Amino acid sequence: MTVGLVLSGGGMRGIAHIGAIKALEEYKIPITHVAGSSAGAIVGAFYAYGYDYEKILEFFESVQLLDITKYAINKPGFIDAEKFYNNFKSYLIEDSFSALKKELYITATNILDGKLNVFNKGELIKPLIASSAIPGVFAPVEIDSSYYVDGGVLNNFPVTLLKPKCDIIIGVYVNGYQTIDIKHLKHSHNVIERALKLKSVKEDMVKFEYCDVIIQPEGLDKYGTFDKKNSKAIFKLGYEAAKNALLKSNTLKAKFDLKIN
């Protein structure tokens, strides 16, 4: 039996994915395939490499995203995303998809031709960095003479990559929204950001029907894309939401003995 795990983008809200992985480990759900975008790609890659939730959380908490030593020089972005290579290499010693213990698919957006690219072989770290390179903040990442940015630009929840490959699909979505007050829209850029997020989330939610189990932690919208200081709270939201969703799933109950280790 093949079991797929789909992990959405969401910046530091992606730490909720790590909480979900803790629940999957406790209930012994045998994930065979992983697809992820942006933060979901990073979490998915570390998981597919063989790390448990504690080591993945350790990585996220150790990396300084707005590090002055990583400022971009003569590149279109504030931060040179490629300067994070050594941070990844210290954990992903063998920089190759072939080193993974689970099948992995990573999305990134080709900023030149406007097409979505799916990486699942060859070098691992640069596609990971590209998939999470938020446009305007991080400079595009060069891979094979082309340039890539965040996979979430074109596909923030790549469930369709696993649909033909997996018997069961579990999706974790960490990029929702809540109703807000007009006072939160003080400037034109606030309105633009809100409109773009609404469009993105609505497009993603249509894909929920492809999942046998959907894990969507509540309360994540109050945490920002770079909100590292609340990592423990974000992790807990992901863990609790995953436990509840897994235990309520008749599909999983029919296939697995859902008992915590």
8 A C-beta contact, residue 37 and residue 151: yes
**pLDDT digit string, tens, across residues 28-58:** 999 999 999 999 999 999 999 999 999 999 9
Measured distance CA(139)–CA(149) in Å, rounded:
8
Structure confidence at residue 193 (pLDDT): 73
pLDDT for res 176? 75
Q: pLDDT at position 102, please?
A: 98
pTM of the model: 0.93
Structure tokens at 228: 């590292």
Give the per-residue pLDDT at 254: 85
User: Given its phi and psi angles, is residue 161 left (phi above 0), alpha (psi -120 to 50 degrees) or beta?
Assistant: alpha
Of the ranges 64-68, 118-122, 253-257, which one carries the lowest mean pLDDT score? 64-68
Q: Name, in order, each residue with C-beta under 8 angstroms of 10's C-beta and a sequence gap of 6 or more.
A: 16, 38, 39, 40, 174, 175, 220, 225
Does residue 259 register a pLDDT over 70?
A: no
Residue-level pLDDT at 208? 96
Distance CA 55, CA 232 (A): 14
* Confidence category of residue 76, pLDDT binned at 50, 70, 90: confident
List of residues 6+ apart from 260 with CB closer than 8 A: 26, 27
pLDDT band at 228 (very low <50, low <70, confident <90, very high): confident
* pLDDT band of 212, cuts 50, 70, 90: very high
Residue ranges covered by each domain of the chain: 3-256
The pLDDT score that the predictor gives to residue 260 is 57
Average pLDDT over residues 52-79: 87
The model's pLDDT over 125-176, given as tens digits with 9 standing for 90+, comes to 999 999 999 998 999 999 999 999 999 999 999 999 999 999 999 999 998 7
CB 14 within 8 A of CB 45: no
What is the Cα–Cα distance from 133 to 108, expressed in whole angstroms? Answer: 9
- Detail the DSSP E strand segments found in 86-190: 103-110, 116-119, 141-143, 146-150, 168-172
CA 241, CA 124: separation in Å to the nearest integer?
A: 29
Indicate whether 196 pLDDT > 80: no
Domain 3-256 CATH superfamily: Cytosolic phospholipase A2 catalytic domain (3.40.1090.10)
Q: For the chain, give the mean pLDDT.
A: 92
| Rounded mean pLDDT, 205-212 | 96
Catalytic residues: 38, 150
pLDDT, residue 231, reads: 94
